[in-house]
Structure 1
Amino acid sequence: MPDVALVTGASRGIGRAIAVRLAKSGYDLALVARSEGPLRETAALVEGFGRRALTAAADITRRGDVEAVRATVLDAFGHVDVLVNNAGYASRPQPFAEWDPDDWWQVIETNLRGPALMCRALLPEMLARRGGYIININSLQGSRVSGAGSAYGVSKAGLMRLTDAVADEVRGSGVTLFDLSPGLVRTEMTSGRPDLDALPESAWSPPEAAAEKVAQLLSGRYDALHGRFVHLTDDLDDLLGRIAGDARLLRMQPPADPAPENDKTA
């Protein structure tokens, strides 16, 4: 039976790159996003590698939509081996005192409630089979003061704590979780950054690099990093070696003030 991966935010950018990379690795794909048209484009790329692709237009912040996705995917595939919570939202940065409360909360709901609902929907089936992976696409913005981007930083800090909590609960169950920061990638979401013109080309990472990191994390070689926050630039073998030497590093979070060369996350 082929492995199955579900990727949210799969209609473009990082999500599409991850879906295509997993199709190359032999996964069938469940593709979730709000817009059906772009999802079909991703599905065509997946099918080009001879893999099955199911598309589901849904709002992951709505419990009913998530439950419908779960039912549809499990009916079609029978199981989900990998959940990649990639869907995200970042509104225009502005001082907190000037922020529209509904817009601020929409960022929190997309980046935290959405992944929480998706995890809650698919985790029981993974636990019953004693196997599976959940990768939450995160950001270094969750580990430092984010200034006028407070909603995004708060949402990603919350996502870190969600990954921590669930990873601790399921430790030893066969289900493995990771936080992955993909670096700064040119996407629709990052196109509104106020510092866009000031960023050098070297600051950007291609979406395919994040997709390759996902494939590495799913190889099984790095399961000892369960619960860890991993950045695109991290050497996973080096992390394994450091953890082997000091188990206290297992749940080490990203530094509050990361080095400039690693400070690439949107």
Structure 2
Amino acid sequence: MAEAAAVPAPAPATVAFVTGASRGIGRSVALALAADGLAVGLLARDGDALAAVTAEITDAGGTAAWAVADVGDHAAVRDAVAHLHAELGVPGLLVNNAGRVDGEVPLWEADPTVWAGVVSANLLGSFHVSREVLALMVAAGGGRSVDIVSGAGARDWDVASAYTATKAGQLRLVGHVHEAGFDRGLRSFGIAPGTVRTDMTTSMALHAGRTDFTPVERTTEMIAAIARGELDDWSGRYLRVTHDSPASLAEHGSPEGQARRFGVLPWGDDDPNASETLVPARR
């Protein structure tokens, strides 16, 4: 039986759904996308804050809708996505931004309840929202998804074991969506935003007294370029806005092989984990 033809690359997004959109990076992303002319669906736990962000967008002439849900609750996510879909239509862009961080202690001192909460928000949350939204995208012919990840998920760290594990898990989901969805019109990206000044980062002892925060505009610029389809060659890969920009990625050209893919470093060319023996990338 002949294989089905690959679906063409998706059109630039006109509708975006953003989780964790009531404050911090998510709020900034929602406002920036609305300023670019996208209709934006906002999802978070704080209805009052969501209503305020929505009013900010509509007062500026944009289009937005909001829905309350804890991303760790699949039923609540399903209902929220259905509401936003009814209000705005099928999204061409999903931004999984909602997340939490655990205590800055080694694993054996971690609070199990806090640890489970971080897994629920970061990893299960990304799955729950992606499960509902990507199904809509596939049925409509494709779309793009962004997971807000972290450099802490791409390297070993001696604290916040739940945060690092879940951010690594999100990077693996980015690769999964690329491999499973590329021929169905999906493109996926993991973006590390650097250390942005937010309630979460300023609450951490690691950043006490810090003054050199990463401008959130670097993240919003990257996501806006993804929404327009300008970075599709980087689908399935890890992007870090402290070192990458739409301009630098365009200048670099298409990445090759396993570059910026999440995996195990090989021990020599004959190591069975060498990049040539991994599942080949779609692109």
For normalisation by structure 2, the TM-score amounts to: 0.83
Counterpart of 1:82 in structure 2 is 93
Question: 1:109 offset after TM fit, Å?
Answer: 1.3
- What aligned pairs does 1:124-135 form with structure 2 within 5 A after superposition? 124-135=135-146
Amino acid at match of 2:100: Y
Find the aligned partners of 2:79 and 2:69 in 1 and give their Cα distance: 9
Question: 1:242 offset after TM fit, Å?
Answer: 4.5
Question: 1:49 offset after TM fit, Å?
Answer: 2.8
Question: 1:127 offset after TM fit, Å?
Answer: 0.8
Q: Deviations over 1:48-70 (max 9, x none)?
A: 33122211111011011011012
Find the aligned partners of 1:84 and 1:37 in 2 and give their Cα distance: 21
Counterpart of 2:6 in structure 1 is none
Find the aligned partners of 2:110 and 2:258 in 1 and give their Cα distance: 37
Counterpart of 1:42 in structure 2 is 53
Tell me the SS of whatever aligns to 2:190: strand
Counterpart of 1:145 in structure 2 is 156
Question: 1:173 offset after TM fit, Å?
Answer: 2.1
2:186 maps to 1:214 = no
Q: In the comparison of the two structures, how many residue pairs are matched? A: 252
8 Å CA contact retained: 2:72, 2:128 = yes
Counterpart of 2:36 in structure 1 is 25
Question: 1:92 offset after TM fit, Å?
Answer: 2.4
8 Å CA contact retained: 2:177, 2:187 = no
2:122 maps to 1:111 = yes
2:63 maps to 1:52 = yes
2:194 maps to 1:190 = no
Find the aligned partners of 2:260 and 2:205 in 1 and give their Cα distance: 33
Find the aligned partners of 1:172 and 1:178 in 2 and give their Cα distance: 16
Counterpart of 1:260 in structure 2 is none
Gaps of 5+ in 2: 1-12, 266-283
Find the aligned partners of 1:164 and 1:67 in 2 and give their Cα distance: 23
RMSD of the TM alignment (CA)? 2.0
Question: 1:243 offset after TM fit, Å?
Answer: 5.3
Could you list the runs of 4 or more consecutive aligned residues of structure 1 that deviate by over 3 angstroms after TM superposition? 235-244, 249-256
Question: 1:149 offset after TM fit, Å?
Answer: 1.1
Which structure has the bigger radius of gyration? 2
Find the aligned partners of 1:6 and 1:68 in 2 and give their Cα distance: 14
Going from structure 1 to structure 2, the CA distance change for 1:208 and 1:236 (only over 3 Å counts) comes to closer
Identity across the alignment (%) = 33
Question: 1:238 offset after TM fit, Å?
Answer: 4.0
Find the aligned partners of 2:261 and 2:92 in 1 and give their Cα distance: 26
Amino acid at match of 1:147: D
8 Å CA contact retained: 1:14, 1:208 = no
8 Å CA contact retained: 1:224, 1:240 = no
Find the aligned partners of 1:108 and 1:226 in 2 and give their Cα distance: 24
Find the aligned partners of 2:151 and 2:206 in 1 and give their Cα distance: 17
Tell me the SS of whatever aligns to 2:67: strand
Amino acid at match of 2:234: L
Question: 1:74 offset after TM fit, Å?
Answer: 1.6
For normalisation by structure 1, the TM-score amounts to: 0.88
Please identify which structure carries the higher helix content.
1
Gaps of 5+ in 1: 257-266
Find the aligned partners of 1:161 and 1:82 in 2 and give their Cα distance: 19
- What aligned pairs does 1:149-228 form with structure 2 within 5 A after superposition? 149-199=160-210, 201-202=211-212, 204-228=213-237
